[in-house]
């Protein structure tokens, strides 16, 4: 996977601006995002008491790296009705998967760039 595989789920200029274009810092932040996504995605279940906290955390982490759609979906689901949670959480998982795929492609590109020196 490389930059050509990006879907547009993440606007990496947001993160690049925040990190000053420093590839090592950008990669570290993306690694932290991926780790948070793994930890919090386990709570993306309407029967879990912490699902709103998980959605809130994913929302903030997504916004921080430029995953605007993920952040918007999370905002809607976080403030939605409990009865709509199962369908909403499925939308969160779908948006999160898209963002994670873009993150993987971008990190792969960063790794390739570092090999070229």
Neighbours of 43 (CB within 10 A): 17
Flag whether 3 is in a domain: no
**pLDDT above 70: percentage of residues in the chain:** 96
Flag whether 117 is in a domain: no
Flag whether 6 is in a domain: no
CA within 13 Å, CB half, 49? 0
Flag whether 2 is in a domain: no
pLDDT mean over 37-64: 96
pTM value is 0.93
Flag whether 57 is in a domain: yes
Flag whether 4 is in a domain: no
Residue 73: is its pLDDT beyond 70? yes
Flag whether 96 is in a domain: yes
**Residue 75 burial (C-beta neighbours within 10 Å; 0-12, 13-18, 19+):** middle
Q: 86 with 46: CB under 8 angstroms? A: yes
25: domain range? Answer: 12-112
28: CATH: 1.20.120.160
Number of folded domains in the chain?
1
């Amino acid at each position: 996977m490389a930059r050509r595989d990006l879907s547009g789920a993440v606007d990496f200029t947001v993160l690049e601006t925040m990190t000053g274009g420093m590839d090592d810092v950008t990669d570290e932040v993306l690694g932290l995002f991926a780790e948070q996504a793994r930890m919090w995605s386990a709570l993306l279940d309407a029967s879990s008491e912490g699902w709103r906290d998980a959605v809130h955390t994913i929302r903030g982490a997504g916004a921080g790296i430029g995953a605007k759609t993920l952040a918007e979906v999370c905002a809607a689901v976080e403030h939605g009705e409990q009865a709509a949670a199962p369908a909403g959480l499925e939308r969160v998982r779908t948006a999160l998967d898209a963002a994670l795929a873009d993150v993987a492609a971008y990190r792969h590109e960063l790794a390739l760039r570092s090999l070229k020196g």
